[in-house]
Homo-oligomer: A and B are copies of this chain.
Amino acid sequence: MSQPDDADPEAAPTPAAYDDLLERYGRATYLGDANAVLSWDQEVMMPEGGTPARSKQRGAVSAVAHDVLVDDETAELLEELERADLPAPKAAAVREIRREHERNARVPTDLVEEISTATSEAHPVWQEAKETDDFDAFAPTLERLLDLKRRYAGHVAPDADPYATLFADYEPCLDLSTAEDVLEELREGLVPLIEAIGESGAEPYALDGTFPESDQLAVTREALETLGYDFERGRLDTAPHPFSTGTQFDARVTTRFDESEPLDSLASTIHEFGHANYTLGLPRGAYGSPLGEHRGLSVHESQSRLFENHVGRSEPFWALFVDRFNDHHGTDLTERQAYEAANRVYDDNLVRVEADELTYHLHIVLRFEIERDLVAGDLDVAEVPAVWNDRMEEYLGVRPEADAEGCLQDIHWSHGSFGYFPTYSLGSVLAAQLYAAAEADLDDLEGQIAAGEFDALREWLAENVHEHGRRYTTDELVEQATGEPLTAEYFLEYAEEKFGELYELDR
């Protein structure tokens, strides 16, 4: 990573405290990344019986990482460096470490350890509850996690809205009000569009049949290769809930297969590719420093959404990929059929991760409202299934018959991740904004995609997003990359145009 400010001959020499601070922060980072490996293993490889030991292991690693970040020596180094005249990238690193130090120093180690143990123990409980469609079996766990995270938020910022505090763990550089505004804009723009689609009578092509897992695996692997995923720095595995995790040296992707929905595993894999591609694009030389870490979940999600939707659900992508899809599955789809099938709007779909680009955001609005009320204590855990089902009916006109496809569907709450969901919509919106900027900068991006050339797009993203790590705040990053602040306009414009054409809307 270039740090031009360091080359300034007039600059004051960097105090030794900077290296000391970075060494300490590095240790905390490595421990955090070790914990991410334990977590990947737990979800992808670990036999069920391993849970009690794994909980202890993750709890211990979290606790020591926390201790390193919060101790007095770290605090003293931060104070010294904040008085120093540092070059801008180093000042940014100090700013980021300060934020994490504050968040952690205010939370007692015991509580950190308890949260880690509780979330580790919660995972199999949630999994079992989902499998047996038994919300009551998960309710006490959810209650415990809410209580722990409320206590956590109370320590971090006693006078703030606890939900805003939790949200900032995932998106530290945008106000919760920005999230609220974006969700509001999306709801206002999308509800009439989805209604119009429902009334259009248009019937885009739909896939039918059975698509064996082994063929889907071959398709998803080929998609990853096509997009340029480096298997020497990653893996593809299956997991109950697809995710991506890792470092710039080893960023892994998981997927899952439904034999009747081969486009779901493909879209999901391309989505996780976008995440892994961001992670792998972080500067390797800055591993262990905030300058080598991602900028927060909204930016992370922008990278996955850009590939999932703007690439993987585009006409040029299907011009490129339809033959490969047909070869593996023995189908005979045309480009247009595949494109239509990949972009059907399902206003009766209950499951977020299977949602289309439009209804997806209403799934997020629903979760956002429920978890905000849960954290505030305005909603009892026991009421969640009923409220969930009522709102699904209100927003999408469809009611889950089982909690397994209702409020038990997502892994997030079992991780204690309250405040995470809004970053999905923020990421979608940013994806559209970044894609528009990339299209303006690059020569015939659509033509490149149709030709299977992804280098220029990936380089543009690397230069404008990945390589900066946490050098800039989210606001600054968005402004630099796109020339304007974060806005939902690009997404809504894109949605109107794409789905207007697909559903023959005259708007």
Q: CB within 8 Å of B: which residues of A?
A: 26-27, 30-31, 33-35, 37-38, 41, 45-54, 56-61, 63-64, 68, 230-235, 246-250, 284, 287-288
Contact = CB atoms under 8 A, between A and B. Distances in A.
B41 A37 contact: yes
Contacts of A288: 56
Residue from A31, A38, A58, A68 whose CB has the most chain B CB atoms within 10 Å: A31
Contacts of A41: 37, 41
Contact of A60 (B31, B54, B246, B247): B31
Contacts of A235: 45, 47
Nearest to A31: B60
Contacts of A58: 34
Contact of A50 (B34, B52, B233): B233
B287 A54 contact: no
A234 B284 CA distance: 34
B37 A250 contact: no
Nearest to A36: B57
Contacts of A46: 250
Contacts of A33: 53, 56-57
A49 B250 contact: yes
27 contacts: A27-B60, A30-B56, A30-B60, A30-B61, A33-B53, A34-B35, A34-B58, A34-B60, A37-B37, A37-B38, A37-B41, A37-B57, A45-B45, A46-B250, A47-B231, A47-B235, A48-B232, A49-B233, A50-B246, A50-B250, A53-B247, A53-B250, A54-B249, A54-B250, A56-B288, A61-B61, A64-B64
Contacts of A53: 30, 33, 247-250, 287
A231 B49 CA distance: 9
A49 B230 contact: yes
Contacts of A230: 49
A234 B47 contact: yes
A47 B230 CA distance: 10
B27 A63 contact: yes
A37 B37 CA distance: 8
A40 B235 CA distance: 16
Contacts of A52: 249, 284, 287
Given A50-B250, A250-B50, A57 B31 contact: yes
Contacts of A34: 34-35, 38, 57-58, 60-61
A445 B369 CA distance: 65
A200 B247 CA distance: 60
Nearest to A33: B57
A278 B485 CA distance: 60
Contacts of A61: 30-31, 34, 61
Contacts of A246: 50
Nearest to A49: B233
Nearest to A64: B64
A408 to B, nearest CB: 23
Contact of A249 (B31, B49, B248): B49
Contacts of A233: 47, 49-50
Nearest to A59: B30
Contacts of A50: 233, 246-247, 249-250
Nearest to A231: B47
A439 B60 CA distance: 43
A235 B248 CA distance: 28
Residue from A41, A53, A233, A246 whose CB has the most chain B CB atoms within 10 Å: A53
